[in-house]
Amino acid sequence: MFKRNRKPAPPLPQAAQIEHERLNSLINSMADAVIAVDESKKVVVYNAAALNVLDLNTIKPNTDVAKIIKPVTSDNHPVDIASLIETTTTPYTSRDLRLQYTDNSSISLYMSIAPVRLGYGTKGQGGHVLLLRDITREKSLEDERDEFISVISHELRTPIAIAEGNISNAQLIADRTEGIDPAIKQALGEAYNQVLFLAGMINDLSTLGRAEQGSLKLEIEAIDVKALVAELVSNYTPEAQKKGLEMKSEIIGEIGELHSSKLYVREVLQNFITNAIKYTSQGSVTLEASYSSQGIHFAVRDTGIGISKGDQDRVFDKFFRSEDYRTRQANGTGLGLYVTSKITRLLHAEITLESELNKGSTFSIFVPNLENHVPKPA
């Protein structure tokens, strides 16, 4: 099923007619619902899958798109589709909408909206193409997985904290005991490092769980930026020195207080610094903070293995780890930067990455001053 609900078009030349039919059958063979609307948000083209997703028998000519697509947000707020389309100038996608049917059943909806020029030739009328897909099954699997991760990370916290404390005590006792076999100290050191890695991973999983459930809370406070930089440099200097790296800091401009979440700003910088140390075998790691009237620009610069152009787009993806053998030599889960990108959104901040393979990487985050920030109602 394929319709153009506009006034009858003049007959097309034969080649154009063939092309037109080809497009018709292509659009109708798509599993995703396709709906094209013109500048006044009236449906001009749709396919069979659109009728399925919207649970309609047909779509009458010149129907307003808002009459047939009435999505709601995950917390049941109606979405004004006409103004959403109106404001879409670059492609937009969402996986967090729902569509309710007249019998009160509902589906989880994937929706993408892209601006297009409809019609033929350069004078074709503008409009938008909407792609819709029922993702109820995927969503429910994702919800189950998130719930599982959240329960597991919660349950593992206590035993790991106890193991960490006990191994640390055993190390102290071993240090104080004379004539102890050095292999025991080495084994305890290795066990301690692995427990720390597990604790970090559990922490990432737990932040991730809360981020995906939208329950991360932003508590704004005045952050003494210089003190935060000094604290991080002092915390990570021993780890850097163990690898023969220099840990440096640079403060640029008159930096005073930054109003943001200290907890999350610190977590992002910690992620950048641990990565910088992990993926650098010689040279230095520098934490930089520079002042701007809108906020603070932090950067973590390393002289490490760098990230290829192809990987740079993917490092913030969930579970992504580079295939580079030097990455695989270090422990990692591929969650740190994903969690970081979630936190960044919460902070209204912006991340940039500059990197060159074998030369080093700079992960930067601009954290805006949220002194007069009014949180949106949940």
Contact 199/164 with Cβ under 8 angstroms?
yes
327 lies in the site for ligand ADP, by CB under 6 A? yes
308 lies in the site for ligand ADP, by CB under 6 A? no
Q: What mask of x and - would describe binding to ligand ADP in positions 338 to 357, judged by CB under 6 A?
A: x-------------------
- Judged by DSSP in three states, 122 sits in coil
List 35, 45, 216, 276, residue binding ligand ADP (CB under 6 A):
276
Q: C-beta of 242: minimal distance to ligand ADP in Å?
A: 17
List 71, 209, 295, 336, residue binding ligand ADP (CB under 6 A):
336
Q: C-beta of 271: minimal distance to ligand ADP in Å?
A: 6
Q: C-beta of 308: minimal distance to ligand ADP in Å?
A: 9
305 lies in the site for ligand ADP, by CB under 6 A? yes
Cβ-proximal residues to 72 (8 Å cutoff; 6+ apart), any chain: 78, 79, 97, 98, 99, 100
318 lies in the site for ligand ADP, by CB under 6 A? no
Question: How far is it, in rounded angstroms, from Cα 129 to Cα 44?
Answer: 10
335 lies in the site for ligand ADP, by CB under 6 A? yes
Q: What are the residues facing 122 on neighbouring strands?
A: none
List 203, 322, 344, 369, residue binding ligand ADP (CB under 6 A):
322
- Judged by DSSP in three states, 269 sits in helix
CB atoms near residue 227 (< 10 Å): 10
Burial class (CB in 10 A: 0-12, 13-18, 19+), 51: middle
Helix and strand counts by DSSP (H, E) for the chain? 11, 13
* Start-to-end CA span in the chain (Å): 41
Binding span for ligand ADP by CB under 6 A among 29-37, 94-102, 179-187, 297-305: 297-305
150 lies in the site for ligand ADP, by CB under 6 A? no
Phi, psi dihedrals of residue 43, rounded to the nearest 5° = -70, 125
270 lies in the site for ligand ADP, by CB under 6 A? no
Binding site for ligand ADP (CB under 6 A): 271, 275-276, 279, 302, 304-305, 307, 315, 320-322, 327, 332-338, 361
